[in-house]
Amino acid sequence: MSKKLQIDYVRVKKVQFGDKTVLQNGILTVNKEELIDTVKSEMFGTLDIKIAVPGESCRILAIHDIMQPRCKADAPETSYPGIWGKLAPMGVGRTVALKGVVVSDIYYAKCNIKYYMDMGGPCAKYTHFSKHYHVILDATPAEGVSDASYAEALKYASLTINVYLAKLGIGLTPDETETFELGPVGPGPDGKPLPKVAYLVTHMASHDTWNFLVYGQSALNFLPIILQPTEILDGAMVWRYWEPNYYLQNETYIKELLRRHGKDLEFVGIVFANNVMKIDGKDAMGMMAATLCKETLKADCVLVNKSGMGHCQLDSALAFNWCQKMGMPCVMNLSAVSNDVPGDMLVISDPKIDAVINSGRNYDLQHPKVDRVIGKDAGVPSLMGYNVEGPFTHTTNFAYQGIWSQLGDCYVTTDSDLPDVPDTM
């Protein structure tokens, strides 16, 4: 567990269209026609690139994914290996990331959960993504193209834009740098060994749509596996569909454990399990994942997390109990387990699960009328019957993008170093 990853961040203060694609003095200028030509596909019926600006009176609908532009500095063609780029081990070397801008895509195929967000106005403060400039891929499926083929083409085009923009930062002086490495550690200040902490995460991989890819391989039917923490931060894993991949690129618990490694704990590694739909399978996955933490990583205690809703909440609970049975005390992160009434969204009720972090909640928001709607015809199921231009009142639920992440990021603290969007609408 000794891979060393350096992430160099170049801050973007403004994004605009222009004659030449260039990043200079914090201003990202994009040649729209050139970018469209780069990502065009016979899978798309229509294709456009749009820009949304922090504070703008703009509502973005049917957001499928949001990612931070990133690429490997020495070999950009290996970024997101097996998924977009050439196969290569991730989590080592130098990666360049643009901060303050994201690549978003609009999804027009049928899906029971689609996300939306406001860039300005009173609701913008409930999503940290309103602090970012959005370069938006707005592409509809061509006639006769299957949903699966369209989704694959959309993801490939989105990652193409992602690397295309990130490459502009390779030769620039970074505004900040993060370095992550798991090396050997000594005893703590009291002379005793530091506690060995493992991170056990269940991710949604129940069927083709709700799935994740590791080096391009579908997680369906995966058994629990051990991955290097830096691999996750560096594009080895991509959600097929569930949450914005921004949260994997900036995984809050992984970063915190890496930063504290050698100080007050020894981070021994990550065990990934995938969500299965039958109770006996869930229990087996939990037992195998806990065994890897205990016997392979030699963990003293375990931080349990998940990305997925009710099913994954149950998976995590079973894994929690198996870890405890094996002598490893646990704490578990659960997003949105409570709103106004404590525990009103809690799927599990088990007195043995006695250390739970509640990392997000829902709100009833008054959405004002906006001047611009992106993705108006893409269809957001939770907004059916509403005039999406506003005004309307709606409960955020998980559909309001950026209010909280299943992995524990919350709009209050995520990207706190970026300026807040003023409510000027």
What are the extents of the domains in the chain? 3-177, 182-358
**Rounded Cα distance, 129 and 402, in Å:** 6
Residue 337 · residue 359 · CB < 8 Å: no
First-to-last alpha carbon distance for the chain, in angstroms, is 50
Mean pLDDT of 86-106: 97
- Pick 310 or 328 by higher pLDDT: 328
Q: Does 1 have pLDDT greater than 60?
A: no
The pLDDT tens digits for 325-357 are 999 999 999 886 666 666 666 777 788 988 988
Return the HEC string of the chain: CCCEEEEEEEECCEEEECCCCEEECCEEEECHHHHHHHHCCCCEEEEEEEEECCCCCEEEEEEEEEECCEEECCCHHHCCECCCECCCCCCCEEEEEEECEEEEEECCCCCCCCEEEECCCCCHHHCHHHHCEEEEEEEEECCCCCHHHHHHHHHHHHHHHHHHHHHHHCCCCCCEEEEEECCCCCCCCCCCCCCEEEEEEEECCCCCCCCEEECCEECCCCCCEEECHHHHHCCCEEECCCCCCHHHHCCHHHHHHHHHECCCEEEEEEEEEECCCCHHHHHHHHHHHHHHHHHHCCCCEEEEEEECCHHHHHHHHHHHHHHHHCCCCEEEEECCCCCCCCCCCCCCCCCCCCCEEECCCCCEEEECCCCEEECCCCCCHHHCCCCCCCCEEEECHHHECCCECCCCCECCCCCCCCCCCCCCC
Residue 82 pLDDT class (50, 70, 90 cuts)? very high
Residue 238 · residue 83 · CB < 8 Å: yes
The region of weakest confidence among 86-95, 130-139, 248-257, 328-337 is 328-337
Q: Does 234 have pLDDT greater than 90?
A: yes
Q: Round the average pLDDT of the chain to a whole number and report it.
A: 92
pLDDT value for 123: 95
The pLDDT tens digits for 12-27 are 999 999 999 999 999 9
The region of weakest confidence among 119-123, 248-252, 416-420 is 416-420
Q: Does 262 have pLDDT greater than 80?
A: yes
The pLDDT tens digits for 143-183 are 999 998 999 999 999 999 999 999 999 999 999 999 999 88
| Chain centroid, CA 132 distance in Å | 15
pLDDT value for 2: 66
The pLDDT tens digits for 19-66 are 999 999 999 999 999 999 999 999 999 999 999 999 999 999 999 999
The pLDDT tens digits for 354-368 are 898 888 888 889 999
φ, ψ (nearest 5 deg) of residue 16: -150, 160
Share of the chain above pLDDT 90, in %: 74
